[in-house]
Chains A and B, each alone.
Chain A
Amino acid sequence: MRTEPRSAQLDGSLPARLLCLAIMTGQGIAINKFQVCLTLLTMAVGSFALSLTFFLGDGARIYLWQDMEQLMGSWVIASPMAHHDAEILKKRLNSDFTSQDLQYVKEQVKSARMIEPFYQGSASVAYRDFNRVMSVDGVTAELGREPLFTAIKGRGFSEDGQRLIVWECMLTESAVKALGIDIASNPTILIDGRQFHVVGVTPDPPGADDMFRPRITVPYSCARALWLAPGSLGEILAAWKDSESMDEVVGGLRGALESCRGSDSYILSSSQFKIQKSRSIVANFMIYGQVQAFFCIAIAFVGVMNVMLTNIARRSHEFAVRLSMGARQAEILAMVLLESSMLGVAGALIGVATSASLAPLAGRLLQSRINGVNELLPYYSFRGILYPVLVCGLAGLIAGVMPAFKVRRMDVLASLRNNN
């Protein structure tokens, strides 16, 4: 009858065995530092791409979509087709909506909660040729070839709702000198009978000649509102309470505008469309990121397998010695598999850490592609950490299977004779 050998006196507990296994695995990884570093780098890139897609995707889902839906509500904006035309000023009399258009639309579209004239500024920066005479603080000034800068605050209601527009402007340095005003005192100036808050000073346009220097620079949004012909409306905003009414409102608006303006004279932009477009951009980003991550992890998988095959070839003598010193074959196999898994997990953690630190920057880069989004913040979700670690760890584990089988088939005596 078999009896337990006396060596059992030294056999440790399971936690001690696991700790020993981890230490021995770490000693093995340290052998082939350069190749290990390269593999870790590749795995980290894959993990980085994967976790970044989760961090930003979850950020968009949690912060952005909720905010967008709350901010945007349910609305559709009808804009004259020539709205973004560089020659807008020449065409405006024909293209802008009129009060009569607005009244007609109000009568036709009963399902909307609100139909109001609306104006939103453009973010474009451009020089435009036009002739316009404005009275600034009682001084008549010509604003020909005026440089127009990015809108500061350009959203509000035009015409009847002009009081809701925050009229702001920036002045060129030369204009400040010409008008002799103190910017620090938060001054206001009158432009064409409207009061503007002077919110800052902008340098004179580069390369400007003397013609520009005494000029006043206003935000494009304000300028656009100012240029509207008398009786013209910028855009028409229709809003409703529930999303089910959308088709009805949009259909009614489209029908009314076609009746009074004709087809192809306007474009519609709805809140849902903007949200869907933004979602589509983020979804595409996530798909692209995950595909990229897949390829990186696939390359890293080959790298881990290569490292492990090289490692076990170099360490066959060590494994044979360990076996002769009382190691079980299962322990050696576990060492190999744990080593390859640790390569995967370590690479994943490096990638996740890098991703977490660079996610805000990536969010800013991505937000520039999404209209109407002020800030795309990353959300550090648990799955953004867990998935890359699981995927990379699993890739590492699978990459270690073949090397582990090679170790299992190892000839102990032949390996002991091999001193390399």
Chain B
Amino acid sequence: MTQGSNHRLPLVRLRGVCKTWQAGNNRINVLRDIDLDLFLGSSTAVVGPSGSGKSTLIHILALLTPIDSGEYLFEGSSVYQGDQWWNTAIRRKIGIVYQDGKLIPNLTALENVCVPLSHRGVWPKRQKEMAMSALDEVGLSHRLKNYPNQLSGGELMRCAIARALVTDPVLVLADEPTGTLDSKSGETVTELLFGIVQPQRALVVVSHHPPLAERADRIVRIKDGTLDAN
């Protein structure tokens, strides 16, 4: 089912996307015939029961796993053509916030935020400036030299958001960003996430948390690998 406006070119367009996993001798159809459009300036919440394929959808959008069939267009260009270089170039336009932050444990908060910049070959001094600015935006300017194990759950997520935003991506994907947080920290993270939606940026949030999903411009429901939207 196709969602979104037909008046603008979508940032992301999925058409007939299918994905299966091999589990022993069985093949599990995780996603079936998914059609989805994501537009700049919009936020989308993906909800559904456990095992319905939400995270797989996020991983497909992040180009971390290939699709079995269908078409994935990013800014009008087809991806998954077997060209790793091209896929990485597209991935660099995407920021990802994982459920538990997935910060690198032996790096400080500042160094973690520098990671995406390091892989883009930004000069270290400029990296530091950009990372400090990103951490300042999420209220972690006082935690620059702290390691992940010295940060609270909320701080970890805010650091992860800073890392996702430091490269100014056009698409931000958040996989259960408030799943492990208490309500207060969850509220802070929700505010931060929806505050980043700009005319030149789209947000996709996977969540079980109804208050978070309700903040999105639209909610997409996945059930048994198929998409339903309102």
Contacts and interface: CB of A to CB of B under 8 A. Distances in A.
Interface of A: 2-8, 10-14, 16-17, 19-20, 23-24, 27, 30-31, 317-318, 321-329, 331, 412-413, 416, 419
Nearest to B100: A419
Which one of B84, B88, B121, B168 has the highest number of Cβ atoms from chain A below 10 Å of its Cβ?
B121
A19 B90 contact: no
Contacts, number: 101
A14 B170 CA distance: 25
B contact residues, range: 35 or more
A241 B143 CA distance: 82
Interface string B92-107: 1100101010111111
B93 A12 contact: no
Contact of A31 (B106, B121, B169): B106
Contacts of B68: none
A14 B120 CA distance: 10
A16 B123 contact: yes
B64 interface: yes
Given A7-B89, A7-B93, A20 B104 contact: no
Contacts of B168: 10
Contact of B121 (A16, A322, A323, A419): A16
Contacts of A321: 102-104, 115
A316 to B, nearest CB: 12
A202 to B, nearest CB: 65
A328 B84 contact: yes
B201 to A, nearest CB: 12
Interface in B75-131: 75, 77, 84-86, 88-93, 96, 98, 100, 102-107, 111, 115-124, 127
Contact of B116 (A2, A8, A17, A326): A326
A326 B119 contact: yes
Contacts of B103: 321
A416 B100 CA distance: 11
Given A10-B167, A20-B124, A5 B75 contact: yes
In order of increasing CB-CB distance, the 6 nearest A-B pairs are A12-B121, A17-B121, A7-B92, A326-B92, A327-B119, A325-B116
Contact of A322 (B64, B115, B169): B115
A105 B91 CA distance: 94
A388 to B, nearest CB: 30
B92 A10 contact: yes
A contact patch SS: helix
B64 A416 contact: yes
Contacts of A416: 64, 98, 102
Interface of B: 59, 62, 64-65, 75, 77, 84-86, 88-93, 96, 98, 100, 102-107, 111, 115-124, 127, 163, 167-170
B154 to A, nearest CB: 18
Given A30-B106, A31-B106, A20 B89 contact: no
Given A5-B93, A7-B167, A412-B64, A322 B77 contact: no
Contacts of A329: 84, 88
25 contacts: A2-B77, A3-B75, A5-B89, A6-B170, A7-B93, A7-B169, A10-B92, A10-B167, A12-B123, A13-B121, A17-B121, A27-B107, A31-B106, A318-B104, A321-B103, A322-B104, A322-B115, A325-B96, A325-B116, A326-B116, A326-B120, A327-B88, A328-B88, A416-B98, A419-B102
A5 B124 contact: no
Contact of A10 (B107, B120, B124): B120
Contacts of B118: 20, 23-24
A5 B121 contact: no
Nearest to B102: A321
Contacts of B102: 317, 321, 416, 419
Contacts of A322: 104, 115, 119
Contacts of A17: 121
A325 to B, nearest CB: 4
B121 A11 contact: yes
B156 to A, nearest CB: 12
A413 B106 contact: no
B130 to A, nearest CB: 9
Contact of B167 (A23, A318, A326, A419): A326
A344 to B, nearest CB: 22
B85 A328 contact: yes
Given A16-B122, A20-B124, A324 B96 contact: yes
Nearest to B169: A7
Contact of B91 (A2, A23, A324): A324
